[in-house]
Amino acid sequence: MTDDTPLRAPAAGAAGPITEEQVRVVPANEASWDDLRDVFGASEPGQCRCQRLKVVGWLWRDTTQEERTAMLREQTGCDTPDARVTSGLVAYVDGEPAGWVAVEPRTAYPKLRTSRIPWKGREEDKDDGTTWAVTCFVVRKGFRGRGLTYLLARAAVGFARDRGARALEAYPMITEPGRDVIWGEMRVGARQVFEEAGFTQVSHPTLRRVVMRFDFER
């Protein structure tokens, strides 16, 4: 499949909550590029291709879609099961590619160094490669609103632990009753997603963003 090939539509099915039994989550290098491409689709988070915190320059939109796509493909190592590193996880629901979560060492995200969100009111070593970060979720149209991000967050904890992380952080949004939140804003996840995965809030740097952390026992 090339980038000009039409995306494959997910199979029709019941739109109820997704259960753990329905889901298989794999490192992105063990997934196919075609599958990951279908997950990202043409949505706003999909256009970024998870390069918002990685691109050189002031804005991710300073790069082209083709450049960001090539960067994501290289970072994930899709179709390369023996790759030593990858940049996230791919979720399958009943065999259909359905979701993505970006999870890597915090040092893999250069733009985090200049963002106030991870560091405000904290004393953290910005060069600590043993602290990992969950930075983005993408859920394929047809699977949204069914709880898949909760399962992806839990999978990210296990993945980071197995890869030797000392801690795992996330920088989610706070959702407020009666206030509209567009789906694209939630690419970083909601606080309750990480609470249910066992994270603890460690700071509240902005009105709508918090820092959540999962420390692994040694």
Which residues pair with residue 88 across a beta bridge? 102
Residue 102 tokens read as: 């970006």
| Residue 206, both tokens | 């902005």
Structure-block tokens of residue 30: 């063990």
**Burial of residue 56, with CB atoms counted within 10 A of its CB: 0-12 exposed, 13-18 middle, 19 or more buried:** exposed
End-to-end CA distance of the chain: 44
Phi, psi of 213 (to 5 degrees): -145, 140
Q: Provide the β-strand partners of residue 102.
A: 88, 136
Q: Which of 146, 137, 122, 144 is closest to 52 using CA atoms? A: 137
**Contact call for residues 190 and 144 (beta carbons, < 8 A):** no
In order of their start, the domains of the chain are 22-215 (3.40.630.30)
Q: Which of 194, 205, 143 is nearest to 170 (CA)?
A: 194
Residue 2 burial (10 A CB sphere; 0-12, 13-18, 19+): exposed
Query: What distance in Å separates the CA atoms of residue 112 and residue 117, rounded to the nearest whole number?
Result: 8
Per-residue pLDDT of the chain (218 residues; tens, 9 = 90+): 445 444 565 654 557 899 999 999 999 999 999 999 999 986 665 688 999 898 876 566 678 888 889 999 999 999 999 999 999 999 999 999 999 999 999 999 999 999 999 999 999 999 999 999 999 999 999 999 999 999 999 999 999 999 999 999 999 998 776 666 655 568 999 999 999 999 999 999 998 899 999 999 86
Residue 133: closest CA among 99, 114, 159, 98: 159
